[in-house]
Amino acid sequence: MIGIGILRHFGLTIATLAAMTMPSHAYTAYVSNEKGNSISVVDTEKMTTVATIKTGERPRGIEVSRDGKFVFVATGDDNTIQIIDTATRKIVGELPSGPDPEQFALDPAGKFLYVANEDDAAVTVIDVEARKAVAKIPVGVEPEGIAVSPDGKIVICTSETTSMAHFIDTTDRKVVANVLIGSRPRAAAFKPDGSELWITSEVGGGLSIIDPTTRKITKVVRFTIPGLRAEKIQPVGINITSDGKLGFVHLGPSNRIAVVDGTTHEVLKYLLVGQRVWHGAFTPDGKYLLAANGLSNDVSVIDVASLKVIKSVQVGELPWGVAMGSK
């Protein structure tokens, strides 16, 4: 027993050392700090915060443009999406998001950006290059999560009080289908091959797996953690690996991320991270997942191969989400 223990310990140390010293590609992670009114710039090689960019009020949803030149950040209390030049780290413009933007998504081409307007029961479509709103699509009460299908043909918007996932056709910008799901749906994500749509529910406490073709729920994954009250387990952000084999579901105030098997949808593991884990992003090489912990003001770094939390990086106040760019 002791021998095995030592071996295990030794093995682990080597793995950890290897992970730390491996010549991984350097990327830049941008973390929105909801209360800090800033973005923390994290160097993923050093795994430290290397710069802080001041933003407008209450930055939450964050994405990097497809060409890597800009960061888009939704500053909800300023009712806009700010554009930051990644080279100069300066605010260079705005996108007309409509009121109180929180979550938004870029289409695969990076041409259009879809924003959920929580207080307006609408999705605003923005032409990124023209920096103009080109459409406003009525959806259910309190739209929240947004996802674009990998082929760019469908946008999903979840509405929290209506408890629906709205399927929006991106060609004629109309709602073409609605799927009723668990109470207060939050985030939505497609598997990279487009075969499944995953949606978290805050009150339902689960993850709905939807077939995007039939638009039917095929399975509901439940999360239970011994010793934790059900209302502490609030599934929020979803990150699915590029091969579709693993899904990481951020469980909010339970301070854990559930690792879900991409095929069987079984919960493989609960990773203990910082407090109130909300949203995250993979490094482009898929090696690490960075997850924003709102109440502990840090980002947990998860090694995807070993499914271990290997580091915590201090960022600004109340980190909300993460977006990845090149160095």
Partner 1 sequence: MGRHAAWPRLLRSLPRKHTFLVVKLCLAVATCLVANWIGAPAAAESQPIKIGYLHGPLSKEKISLIDIPAPNEGLAGAQLAIDDNNTTGSFLGQRFELIESKIAEGDDPASAVKALADQGAAFIAVNLPATQLLQAADAGKASGEILINAGAPDERLREQDCRANVIHVAPTRFMLADALAQYLIVRKWRNWFLVSGSHDGDKAFADALRHAAKRFGAKIVAEKEFKDTGGARRTDSGLAEVQRQMIDLTQGVPDYDILVAADESEVFAGYLPYRTWTPRPVAGSAGLVPTTWDAAFDQWGALQLQNRFKKKYQRFMTPLDMQLWTAVRIVGEAAAHANTADAAQLFAYIKSPEFSVAAFKGQKLTLRDWNLQLRQPILLFDGRNTVSISPQEGFLHQTSELDTLGLDRPETKCKLR
Which stretches of the chain bind partner 1, using CB under 8 A? 100, 118-119, 121, 138, 140-142, 159-164, 166, 175, 178, 180, 183-184, 202-204, 229-231, 234
The set of long-range contacts for 109-116, using a CB threshold of 8 Å and a minimum separation of 24, is: 109/66, 109/152, 110/65, 110/66, 110/67, 112/170, 113/63, 113/72, 113/81, 114/146, 114/148, 114/155, 114/157, 114/168, 115/61, 115/74, 115/81, 115/146, 116/143, 116/144, 116/145, 116/146, 116/157
Q: Comparing C-alpha atoms, which of 323, 324, 321, 226 is closest to residue 276?
A: 321
Q: Smallest distance, Å, CB 211 to partner 1? A: 19
Nearer to partner 1, 53 or 233 (CB): 233
Nearer to partner 1, 130 or 141 (CB): 141
Q: Smallest distance, Å, CB 67 to partner 1? A: 30
Nearer to partner 1, 117 or 170 (CB): 117
Q: Which two tokens stand for residue 107?
A: 């289409």
Let me know: does 283 contact 18? Beta carbons within 8 Å.
no
What strand order describes the sheet that includes 185-190? 185-190, 197-201, 206-211, 216-222
Q: Smallest distance, Å, CB 299 to partner 1? A: 24
Nearer to partner 1, 59 or 140 (CB): 140
Let me know: does 296 contact 275? Beta carbons within 8 Å.
yes
Q: Which two tokens stand for residue 290?
A: 């960075």
Unique residue bearing structure tokens 């599934």: 235
Q: Smallest distance, Å, CB 246 to partner 1? A: 28
Q: Smallest distance, Å, CB 119 to partner 1? A: 5
Nearer to partner 1, 81 or 164 (CB): 164
Euclidean distance between CA atoms 71 and 55, whole angstroms: 11
Nearer to partner 1, 142 or 298 (CB): 142
Q: Smallest distance, Å, CB 229 to partner 1? A: 7
Residues 6+ apart with CB under 8 A from 168: 114, 123, 137, 139, 154, 155, 156, 157, 174, 175, 176
Nearer to partner 1, 204 or 274 (CB): 204
Q: Smallest distance, Å, CB 141 to partner 1? A: 5
Nearer to partner 1, 7 or 130 (CB): 130
Q: Comparing C-alpha atoms, which of 208, 167, 170 is closest to residue 186?
A: 208
Euclidean distance between CA atoms 198 and 272, whole angstroms: 22
Q: Smallest distance, Å, CB 91 to partner 1? A: 26
- What is the Cα gyration radius of the chain? 19
